Amino acid sequence: MFKQEAIEMIRKAITEEGILASAQQRDNYARVWARDSMMAGYAGILIDDEEILAGLEQSILTLARQQAENGQVPSNVVNGKASYGTHVGRTDATTWLIVTTCEYLKRPEKETLKNQLRQPVYQALSCLKTWEYNQRGLVYSPLGGNWADEYVTSGYTLYDNILRYWALKNAAEIYQDEELHARAVGTKQLIQENFLKNNSGSVKYHETAYAKAPVKPYFWASLNANGYDARFDLAGNALAILLDFDLDLKAFSDFLESVHREFRHWMLPVFYPVIHPSDDDWRLLENNYSYSFKNKPYHFHNGGSWPIFLGWLCLGLKRRGLPEIPGKILAQYETLMREKGEPFREYYSTDGLLPLGTEELCFSASGYLFMTV
């Protein structure tokens, strides 16, 4: 229903430097953000849109040119000037560049580009290795160190480590690297054994914390020195399902149904449960912002619903042979865009289903395309 509109909106955001975050090309969104441009480019790969793919290639080259000496990929670039983060750096800028670049390089006509980008890809992988800090296999992200930059998760986060696995897997495939393949296999096993209760008997990253962590029908959001954050991270779990991690999909689907019943709609929250002022984690939220406080309960990262990550969830569930919930999410999203107007807003509040945040966001257009492929 909105597919062509989504495609045209991403095309509208393409400039000489690459794909900008918003088609409106204003304020902080008139930049080539690594994660935004790479996800929009991934949508272009899925639908095989040559215009979006050309924008993706420019995004890759722009970000690679501004790669830091240690291999870190910029959070964003505008007019040839790179930013690596304000309060902290962004772990997922580096992983997303590797993931989508390698997906793009699977195209047979990109052999020359593959050779050109080998060094930037390997430098980025080397940077990720240093971010393990303890050399035990999982990447450590600081508070505010990924897309949820004003939220409370930190440490060995599910989302960032799933992306690191994907980066290793894709680079190993593109560059026929057996060592990277072995590291990818090991990383997947570490995540599988440390973010979900299991009976493997393997040595855990944090034995005491693991023993105390509750059983959940999904992968826990993060692990830190002070224990597990067992809340639901929709983005991390969506990518885990997409990448064939072992999860009881019946129990997971039942959990999604229960969240749907609680909220009475299918615009599922990106993190759950919602944090309220009476909760201990509120103190981690209330000062963690750059321009204005957005994380009121049911808003933004704090229980807001983001079409981009609902799109990844739909893509993953459909690839695992479970189309029912994706169909319900797509129908809900299309109904909201029809009834409330303003298609492809950044997120929806989950208490009032209000379209909020930036308009004409490539994130949301990409999420819609993931829902429809």
- Report the b/e string of 90-110 with b at 16+ CB within 10 A: bbbbbbbbbbbbbbbbeeeeb
On the question of pLDDT at 59 being above 90, the answer is yes
Q: How far from 152 is each of 71, 166, 221, 273, CA to CA, in Å? A: 26, 24, 10, 12
- 342 — pLDDT class (breaks 50, 70, 90): confident
Domain spans of the chain, in order of start: 1-105, 131-243, 248-373
Judge whether 270 and 263 are in contact, CB under 8 Å. no
Judge whether 266 and 339 are in contact, CB under 8 Å. no
Query: What does the pLDDT read at residue 296?
Result: 97
16's tokens: 């000489």
- 26 — pLDDT class (breaks 50, 70, 90): confident
When pLDDT is averaged across residues 309-322 and rounded to a whole number, the result is 98
Average pLDDT, the chain: 97
Full DSSP string of 113-150: HHHHHHHHHHHHHHHHHHTTSSSSS---B-TT-SS-TT
Query: What does the pLDDT read at residue 336?
Result: 97
On the question of pLDDT at 290 being above 90, the answer is no
Q: Comparing 121-125, 199-203, 247-251, which segment has the lowest mean pLDDT?
A: 199-203
Query: For 185-214, how does the pLDDT look when each residue is reduced to its tens digit (9 = 90+)?
Result: 999 999 999 999 998 889 999 999 999 999
- 70 — pLDDT class (breaks 50, 70, 90): very high
With a pLDDT cut of 70, the percent of the chain lying above it is 100
When pLDDT is averaged across residues 72-99 and rounded to a whole number, the result is 96
